[in-house]
Every structure is written in structure tokens, then in C-alpha cells.
A and B are shown apart, each in its own frame.
Chain A
């Protein structure tokens, strides 16, 4: 495609009246020939500290004062470290933190403000100009560099020897790959881990986190229980990993408010329903339950689920309803799971709907 002609001009570094292009194309730039002339650097304005010895002395004293304040601050910090020991009373932590911090702050700001004040008031503030050299190297150096490269090419035969070059590329492309593959044992084959939770047929529903079982009669209308499978308490093997899939919300609503699919009618008990607490968006706990609206709200990205209608999504970025845990009541009145969830809980993944082995 046509480009604007490259204007090749000799680079001139001296200050001439005409704007000098540095041997490159100007592209779409409009270069006016009668642009306003550069009047040169503004004359220097003399500071008070340059004119008046009294001001200069004052400024010097101020700088010294600032440096002295810094010394005092640092000394104070050293003292405060020992003067404010910490014990179980939290106020001691506050005091130590604050006084140590104040001391160090003074120690630092004293130097900083002092140094800058020194530079501004006492060091020369006359602006100077320094020439720039064009970044690109002069022609002769470029030619010499190209010569060097050409020589290296010739002597190695890199361009000429196609077989060597191509097999070299192949070797260089492949050698890093083992370095990547050895990270393979960072984690195990995920297998079916996402498809099963700690819930089994007959597992009792228990209170989170202390693990006490729950009776159906305890779950009154408007109640919400945060539930874990019985036996999953702090200290058990894989506690957090299992809880991250098995956490459940248990709620009781008026039975006539429940809209249930026919195949799920026996998953609830007299208005008591159990749903997975793990959001189907990206996995935060969907923990907010609004008693009157029957909505479940996830605090991370505000996905909202309608509890009485199969926890379907009514707002927010989630796309799938929360999985329901089928429950029943045993002879003693305790709530138990009929089985594991009928689908993987939590965030979606690629082969989620593929039937597991």
C-alpha cells in the first residue's frame, strides 16, 4: 500500500528556526511552514533565597529543623517499641502500633520534606536544556551492525543450511515441554469428585458447625438451618473439601406455597425443603434467606433463587437452580437424606451433564 514518502533528511542537532524532523515520515501530520516561533526558555525568576541572605539562612534552618524532627521521630519510635509492650489487652496492640507508627512517620517525613525543601529553596533552580540524540543509530553504525550479523550468518551457515535450521526450531520448540508436563502431579485426576458429596442414603442432617442432628419438629415455619451431614465436624479428614460440596440450607415454608415437580413431591416433608448452599454461579455460599419473599440471595454476585419454586434463578448471573437434597423423616423424628444429590452441586463445568460411570 502506498505510504507517505519517507523524508530522509540529515539530522541536525543545532537549534535552527525551522522545526527539524528526525529523518522519519510525518504520516498524516500537518507541518506548517509558518508556525509560531519558539521564543526560547523563559528567563529565570530569582527566588527570595537567592536574593536575600536572610531568607537563605531561614530556609537552611528550616531544612535543618526538619532533619532534626526526623531524628526525634526515629528516637521516639525506638523508645515506643519498648515503652508500649503488648499483652492480651487489645488496647496495648493499638498503642504500640500507633506510637511506633507515628515515630517512624516523623522519621521518614522529616527527611523527605527536608530534602525537598532544600532542593527547592537552596539548590539552583535554573532550568537547563540538554540535547537529545536521535534514538536510532547513525547509518554507519547500522551498516556495521548489519555486517556483523551477516558475518555471523555466513560463518554459521544459519540461513543457508535449511536442514539444520529447521531441525533446530523443532528441538527448541520441544525441549521446554517436559518442563511443563512435570507440573502434572500438582493435583490428582479430578475423576468423579465433583459428582459426589458426603451425603448418602440415611445420613442425618446436622447443624453447622457443631454437628447436632435436627428434628423435623424443630424446623418451624420461617426457620432456616445451616446444615452439614452428620459426622462432618472440624477435625475430620477432608473437612473443608467435603463441606465445600455438602453444605445445605434447610427451610420450612407453608406447604401450600411450595411448587413442586411431580417427581420431586416426596423430596420435601410438610413444607420442609433442603437445597444445596453452594451457588451454581461460581460457588459462594448462598446463605441469605428472606423469610417472607422465600428468596435466597447469594452475597457475592447477587444471584437470587426462588426457594418455593425449585430454587430457580430469578435474578443475577447464575444460570442453574440450586440442586435439591431429597429428605425424609425417620422413626425418631430426625431429618435424613434419602440419597446424595441427583446432580453435581456448585458451579457449572464442561461435562457436568455427562452421566457419570
Chain B
């Protein structure tokens, strides 16, 4: 017993004990901070490894630097990526918008060119460049929120561009807000929080993560619910209905009137 006490005392006073104390302190403060900040910004991704950042940098240099600059500082062809966050990269690359193709008013969705691993690596690299929105926490992508609140928020913040049923809509000069029918909850969340291209930013202070989940819940409900009235005509409203009325309804009836007036055999 005495020998153990002496050994511990020795350890306590050794220079290495400082390292231990510091390490312990870091763990306490770190986990305590994580626990606290989980309430404040719960979408913080777990940290990326240095390997991922390095791999991401390699991918960035060979695929992105020509437009975004070697240090992602931006060029005439592409904006700076410093501070755009991992969420931006994940959104743009996982939907195929990036790498950007020929110039036009707006980036289009194209076939995705990178694997998930590669996308994560590039996201890690960009996240390392500056603080920005991170990839959302799974908890807010479950579509288990309040669809009524989600619907209200959607109609006020989103429907004017994306249409009340999420069918998409026109912006000026050839730009457009795309249809949301095939967007995953993660992509929807990331779009809201990063504000890609001309879409405004809906940060977590404006629409909280729970509210974003509500919006996602609403959209997923729309997508999955039975169409009670029948064929939905693309959710485009009275224009589509008018075309069907003229060419479908009236067309069929005129065909019948021609049969009606024709002489029988």
C-alpha cells in the first residue's frame, strides 16, 4: 500500500502528469461543450479525419480548382468556397450540379460524378477552410415532424418559387426553382441552410432545425400520400387543367359529335 501511494505521488509530480491533466481537462470541457452546443447547433458533424481532408484536397485540386481557385479563394468562373461549409459541397456534388457544366443562367442537375466517400472527403476539405453550415444531423431528416407547421412554413417561405405542391417555378432570366419531388430530406435541408445559387439562405435562426424537419415532413407527406382526385397533371394548376379541358374533354366530345352526325353504314 505504501509503495503504491509513493508511486502515485511520484506520478502526480512528474512532468507527464501535466499532459494527463490537460488531456483530462480537454475531454471534460470538450464533451461538456459538445453536450451544451448540441442544443445550440446540433447539426454539427463529427469531425473529419486528417486523411479525409487530405483526400478531399487532392480531389478538389483535380476537379474544382480550375474554377474555384487552388485555395478555393474563387476566380472569375467560380465563387470562393471559404466558409460555405460541408453542407454546400454535399448539396452541390451529391445532386450532380457540381462539377459545373457549360455556362447558362443556372446550374442543372446532372448525373452524380463522385462516390459518397469522395463527396465526404471534399466536404471535409471545404469545411476545413472556414466555418460554415455542416451536414445536417440525421435526427432532423426523419420526416417525423409536424406536417401542419411544415406546410405553413413551406407556403410562406418556399411555395412562391417552388410552387405550393413543390412542382417548381420560374425565376427571372432563365433561372428556375426546381421541382422537389425527387429531393431527399438531406438535400432539402442542405439547400435551405446553404442557399444554393439564387436561393436565399434559410439559416437555423430563421427556420430552426425542428422547423426544417417539419417542412421536410410536409414534403415527404405530399410525395407519399395517395392522389385523391386522380392524375395530378403535374401540380401545375389551372393552365394544365385548361389544356386538358380543351384538348381532352372537348376533344373527346367533338370526336363523338362527328360520329353522331356521320351517316350510318
A–B in direct contact per CB < 8 Å: yes
Interface size class on chain B is 20 to 34
Contacts of A223 on B, CB cut-off 8 Å? 195, 200-203, 206
13 new A-B contacts, CB < 8 A, other than A220-B203, A221-B201, A290-B175, are: A45-B263, A47-B263, A94-B230, A209-B152, A209-B156, A215-B205, A223-B195, A223-B203, A224-B200, A226-B156, A290-B171, A291-B199, A292-B197
Q: Is B180's CB within 8 Å of the partner chain A?
A: no
Contacts of B197 on A, CB cut-off 8 Å? 291-292
Chain A, residue nearest B155 (CB): A209
Q: Which residues of chain B (165-212) have a CB below 8 Å from chain A?
A: 169, 171-173, 175, 195, 197-203, 205-206
Chain A, residue nearest B153 (CB): A209
Task: Give A349 to B199 CA distance when docked, in angstroms.
Answer: 33
Contacts of B156 on A, CB cut-off 8 Å? 208-209, 226
B residues at A contact (CB < 8 Å):
152, 156-157, 160-161, 169, 171-173, 175, 195, 197-203, 205-206, 225-230, 259-260, 263-265
A-B contact pairs, 19 of them (CB 8 A): A48-B265, A94-B227, A94-B229, A98-B230, A116-B260, A120-B263, A120-B264, A217-B205, A218-B206, A223-B206, A224-B202, A287-B160, A290-B198, A291-B198, A293-B198, A299-B160, A299-B169, A302-B172, A315-B172
**B201 x A291 contact (CB < 8 A):** yes
DSSP class of B's interface residues: helix, strand, loop or mixed?
loop
Q: Is A49's CB within 8 Å of the partner chain B?
A: yes
Contacts of B152 on A, CB cut-off 8 Å? 209
Q: Is A65's CB within 8 Å of the partner chain B?
A: no
Q: Is A204's CB within 8 Å of the partner chain B?
A: no
Q: Is A289's CB within 8 Å of the partner chain B?
A: yes
**A94 x B226 contact (CB < 8 A):** yes
Chain A, residue nearest B261 (CB): A120
**B230 x A292 contact (CB < 8 A):** no
Q: Which of A49, A89, A93, A226 contacts B157 (CB 8 A)?
A: A226
**B169 x A207 contact (CB < 8 A):** no
A residues at B contact (CB < 8 Å):
45, 47-49, 89-91, 93-94, 97-98, 116, 120-121, 125, 207-209, 215, 217-226, 251, 285, 287-293, 295, 297, 299, 302, 304, 315
Task: Give A216 to B264 CA distance when docked, in angstroms.
Answer: 79
CB distance from A250 to the nearest CB of B (A): 9
**A293 x B226 contact (CB < 8 A):** no
Q: With a 10 A CB-CB cut-off, give which of B161, B169, B206 has the most chain A CB atoms.
A: B206
Contacts of A288 on B, CB cut-off 8 Å? 160-161, 171
**A90 x B228 contact (CB < 8 A):** yes
CB distance from A95 to the nearest CB of B (A): 9
Q: Which of A97, A116, A225, A291 contacts B228 (CB 8 A)?
A: A97
Contacts of B198 on A, CB cut-off 8 Å? 290-293
Contacts of B225 on A, CB cut-off 8 Å? 90
Chain A, residue nearest B202 (CB): A223
CB distance from B240 to the nearest CB of A (A): 17
Contacts of A217 on B, CB cut-off 8 Å? 205
Contact A90 B206, CB 8 Å, known A47-B265, A285-B160: no
